[in-house]
A and B are shown apart, each in its own frame.
Chain A
Amino acid sequence: MANLTPELERERQRINSIAQSAGLDYFDVIFELITYDQISQFAAYGGFPVRYPHWKFGMEYEHLSKSYEYGLSKIYEMVINTAPVYAYLMEGNSMMDQKLVMAHVYGHADFFKHNVWFGKTNRKMMDQMANHATRIRRYMDRYGVDIVEDFVDKCLSLENLIDRHQLSPSPIKFSEPAPINNAQFMLKYDKEYMRDYINPPSFVAEQKKKLQEEQARNSKSPFEPQKDILQFLLQFAPLTEWQQDILAIIRDEAYYFAPQGMTKTMNEGWASYWHTKLMTEKILNDSEVIDYADHHSGTVAMRPGGYNPYKVGIELFRDIEMRWNKGQFGREWDECDDVNERKHWDKKLGIGREKIFEVRKIYNDVTFIDEYLTEEFCVANKLFVYKFNKRTNQFEIDTRDFKAIKAKLLFQMTNFGQPIIKAVDANFENRGELLLSHLWEGIDMQPEYLNETIKNVFALWGRPVNLATVMDNEGLLFRFDGEKITQIKIGGSQSAG
């Protein structure tokens, strides 16, 4: 990794001061110039130089480096949410490209610092990731690569089972069962030296384990169904110490990345908005304009049918700015239904810029869309809802109805587009079985994935695992007992709530 060339450093300083005069504010940003191979590696690792050893990173790296080789995609920017912020530029890109990336990165850096959903993230995650890696490697050395990797695989399978609306993971409180001292189950002995004969250590250990298990079974299930299933497992599943540590690591990282998933549209929109503005108004020199237009149009292009967060995000921010400049909000506006009047509405308030700064602070994708997606916007941007048609076996356009579009977008963004699943009972049927419940809101879960994942939950829980959901309009209880999966019909459909 190299520091910037003198020329690049000069540009960086210039862009930095332009960005700040425009109102962007961020922690120190450190740019590094790296090769395409390094940037693929970083990208595979989620932006960090070090991660715990796992084949999924290898897979991602392979995919990325092949894509680049075939000219399919070029990673332009890579920036991570830390303080100081680290950002990577790829060697070999043109000066115009690098300038664009820098402007874009400053946009992201401002977003990371100010958006409230990132408020509690661990900005020292660089060190933390390295620390996680060390711990996991140590376990691999001690217990064997296959065993540990297998366990990590299972944890990763469950890594989305967190509570995204918790801004940060709540500290893990382990339930405190009554301290077990060995005396409770040892047989009586007369002479001290007889102790180990009458109560061989293995016997004692076994009894202790039995007692612990019974305690675990009887301990309280959450009064309220709990979304943070990983925490639930950490508290109640019979895991060894190293397994607990690994599960905690996976959970920690999942919480770290969660805000990024929740604000993807806004974040990309914000960064794109700023790179466009700064590049066209201040940064580009005349000779670079064409290249810029070419690059920019590629980034914000819409593949037919594709949803491009860069595009929707940037257009929404622009729309908000325009509306707040012209006063196109508020009760009067909402109540006006004269098309002509709406089209020419301009109160010349000029507070658009101020407004978008406020928006980038408070909202996440869901509230952003909920509040600011308008019918005019959908029409102007040609948005539609698509669905899969089983008859023709292809995806097709369903509707352009505004309410449907909004509902669909919101649904996809809520909980990060993942089904909401809660842990309900740790002693289901009084047999120590785990009961999970899927909050069904009209969309079925993917069945093959469900089957495989429930097996992984079982692997951690140790006893049968049940998942209540709805599939094909029928309430079903999926149950895995270690050998096979059964489905039992539940009376009535399990509805949201």
Chain B
Amino acid sequence: MSIREDQNRFRDIIKGKIKEDLRRFVGSSDMIGKRENDFVKIPLPHIEIPTFRYGPKQQGGVGQGQGQPGDGMDGEPQAGQGQAGDQPGEHQLEVEMSIDDLATILGEKLALPKIEPKGSKSIHSEKTRYSGLAPVGPEGLRHFKTSYKRALKRYVSSGTYDPNEGMIVPIRRDFQYRTFKKVIQPQTRAVIIYMMDVSGSMGEEQKEIVRLESFWINAWLRKHYKGIETRFIIHDAAAKEVDENTFFRTSESGGTLISSAYKLAQQMIEEDYPPHEWNIYPFHFSDGDNWSGEDTRLCVRMIKEFFIPYCNVFCYGQVDSKYGSGQFLKDLQKEFPNEEKLLTSTIESKDKILDSIKQFLGTGR
């Protein structure tokens, strides 16, 4: 159907345009807001073909209805007068895109490598599958067809087979029973643990940045793992687990003890996500203003002893805030000058989200 071709062509062009303008899209909050299931509505800049024309603002027009000169008009007036038979007037274009498609575009634009899940090498789980046959076994596992066929073969080869006589009597030797085989299945399960500093120094804009960035990280990781789980931890001087909505809306006002979040995360992992079965992605966002050097040292130890060994990566994103000192990042960089699995990034503004994502996801872990 040729309209489908045209439609696909159109979508390809859209994807191209999104890719070009990706930095702006990634930093754009209103797009994320319009989410339905796995689709996102994207308002697009003009994809119309330009012509020599008047604009509605230049033109004005004739309308119908009540009102006095000087009264404003509700909504936009119709710009559809006198158009050719096949096209209505300008329309604000909103195109639906699946989040998966968007993630692909993101991946292409940032040249993100595909993730090598731990599962393909060292994570595996054993499953038993009843896919084999054996001459002995419990009657409940008798394989009827094979047993019958063997009896039939015996009859035929010994010449006693009579096509008119339907009954075949199998003997002990004919019977086959299902048995199990152990199958090693690579496991590709993943969990993302988001931790965010919600102390007084993290403002609305900072939280918005975290929200946008986490949306995209989710989208990308979801492409690589079936059934990804996300957990959310907020902390100021104490940490607690929350749901997604609360994660983005809370603001506390206490001091900041980053270790509280790390402890909770560690606990979560130990309880629910055995590292040999799970790919674990902890992300921590903060403005870098930890309570004390003592606490920072504790965090560093936890990272060294627990997170790095057991998780795929450990990611720390520092947002700029006028109240934060940004010290934590410096400390991390000092303590882990060469650690490949520790990924850090500063996110100064919405514009920089794209770069930050590249830093976090660009290593193929």
Q: Which residues of A contact B (CB under 8 A)?
A: 41, 44-47, 50-51, 53-63, 66, 133, 149, 153, 156-161, 254, 257-258, 260-262, 264, 302-309, 311-312, 365, 381-388, 392, 394-400, 405, 408-409, 412-413, 416-419, 421, 438, 443-446, 448-450, 452-453, 456
Residues of B close to A396: CB separation below 8 A: 69-73
Segment of B58-66, B178-186, B266-274, B286-294 in the binding face = B58-66
Contact B72 A445 (CB under 8 A): no
Determine whether B82 belongs to the interface, using a CB cutoff of 8 Å to chain A: yes
Q: Which of A55, A302, A394 contacts B13 (CB 8 A)?
A: A55
Closest Cβ–Cβ distance, residue A312 to chain B (whole Å):
8
A395 touches which of B7, B64, B76, B91 (Cβ 8 Å): B76
B87 at interface, CB cutoff 8 A: yes
Q: Give the Cβ gap from A121 to chain B, nearest Cβ, in Å.
A: 11
Q: Which listed residue (A262, A311, A385) contacts B61, Cβ 8 A?
A: A385
Q: A60-B87, A399-B69, A413-B81 are in contact. Are A383 and B64 (CB under 8 A)?
A: yes
Q: How far is the CA of A51 from the CA of B96 in the complex (A)?
A: 25
5 pairs of residues in contact across A and B, judged by CB atoms under 8 Å: A46-B84, A47-B85, A157-B49, A307-B62, A388-B60
Whether B60 pairs with A365 at a CB distance below 8 angstroms is: no
Query: Across the interface, do B68 and A397 meet the contact criterion of CB distance under 8 Å?
Result: yes
Apart from A51-B2, A395-B77, list 6 A-B contacts with CB within 8 A: A47-B86, A308-B78, A384-B64, A386-B73, A395-B76, A396-B70
Q: Tell me if B's interface is mostly helix, strand, loop or mixed.
A: loop
A408 and B53 contact, CB distance less than 8 A: no
What residues of B have a CB within 8 angstroms of the CB of A47 in the complex? Answer: 85-86
- Give the CA-CA distance A61 to B57 in the complex, in Å: 27
Whole-angstrom distance between the Cβ of B29 and the nearest chain A Cβ? 23
Q: A55-B10, A388-B60 are in contact. Are A382 and B54 (CB under 8 A)?
A: no
* B63 A305 Cβ-Cβ under 8 A: yes
Set B62, B67, B78: member contacting A409, Cβ < 8 A: B62
**The residue from A54, A149, A312, A444 contacting B54, defined by CB atoms under 8 A apart:** A444
Q: Are A304 and B9 in contact (CB under 8 A)?
A: no
Q: Given the known A-B contacts A306-B78, A395-B72, A397-B67, are A408 and B60 also in contact in the complex, defined by CB atoms under 8 Å?
A: yes
Q: How far is the CB of B191 from chain A (nearest CB, A)?
A: 36
Q: How far is the CB of A298 from chain B (nearest CB, A)?
A: 15
Q: How far is the CA of A114 from the CA of B62 in the complex (A)?
A: 28
Q: Which among B3, B10, B51 is the interface contact of A453 at CB below 8 angstroms?
A: B51
Which residues of chain A have C-beta atoms less than 8 A from B66's C-beta?
304, 382
Q: Measured between alpha carbons, how far is A438 from B50 in the docked complex, in Å?
A: 16
Residues of B within 8 A of A160 (CB): 51-53
What is the CB-to-nearest-CB distance from B20 to chain A, in angstroms, rounded to a whole number? 16
The interface residues of chain B lying within 8 Å CB-to-CB of A55 are 6, 9-10, 13
Any A CB within 8 A of the CB of B304: no
**Residues of chain B within 8 A of A419, CB atoms compared:** 52-54
Whether A446 lies near B69 (C-beta < 8 A) is no
Shortest Cβ distance from residue A434 to the other chain B in the assembled complex, whole angstroms = 14
B53:A449 contact, CB within 8 angstroms: yes
Which of chain B's residues has its CB closest to A452's CB? B50
Complex CA gap A45/B85 in Å reads 10
CA distance A303 to B73 in the complex (A): 10
B326 to chain A, nearest CB (A): 40
Q: How far is the CA of A305 from the CA of B53 in the complex (A)?
A: 22
Q: B84's contact among A53, A57, A59, A261, by CB below 8 Å, is which? A: A261
In order of increasing CB-CB distance, the 7 nearest A-B pairs are: A46-B86, A58-B10, A446-B55, A58-B6, A387-B60, A452-B50, A58-B7
- Asked whether, in the complex, the Cβ of A405 is within 8 Å of the Cβ of B62, the reply is yes
Is B81 a contact of A302 with CB atoms below 8 Å?
A: no
Q: How far is the CA of A177 from the CA of B18 in the complex (A)?
A: 48
Contacting pair A261 B82 (CB below 8 A): yes
Q: Are B9 and A156 in contact (CB under 8 A)?
A: no
CA distance A154 to B71 in the complex (A): 41
Contact A261–B74 (Cβ < 8 Å): no
Cβ contact of A305, chosen from B1, B73, B81, cutoff 8 A: B73
Contact of B6 among A54, A257, A261, A452 (CB under 8 A): A54
A454 to chain B, nearest CB (A): 8
Contact B85 A158 (CB under 8 A): no
A57-B70 contact, Cβ under 8 Å, with A398-B60, A408-B60? no
- Given A58-B9, A261-B85: A304 in contact with B50 (beta carbons within 8 A): no
Q: Which of A66, A262, A383 has a CB less than 8 Å from the CB of B62? A: A383
Closest to B66 in A: A382
CA distance A419 to B59 in the complex (A): 11
Cα(A458)–Cα(B68), bound, Å: 46
A157 to B77, CA, bound (A): 24
- B309 within 8 A of partner (CB): no
Contact A307 B73 (CB under 8 A): no
Q: A309 to B84, Cβ gap below 8 A?
A: no
Closest residue of chain A to B70 (Cβ to Cβ) is A396
B54–A445 contact, CB under 8 A?
yes
Q: Are B62 and A408 neighbours in the complex by a CB distance under 8 Å?
A: yes
Known: A53-B5, A395-B60. A449 touches B50 (CB 8 A): yes
Contact A304 B86, beta carbon cutoff 8 Å? no
Knowing A257-B84, A416-B82 touch, does A388 contact B56 (C-beta < 8 A)?
yes
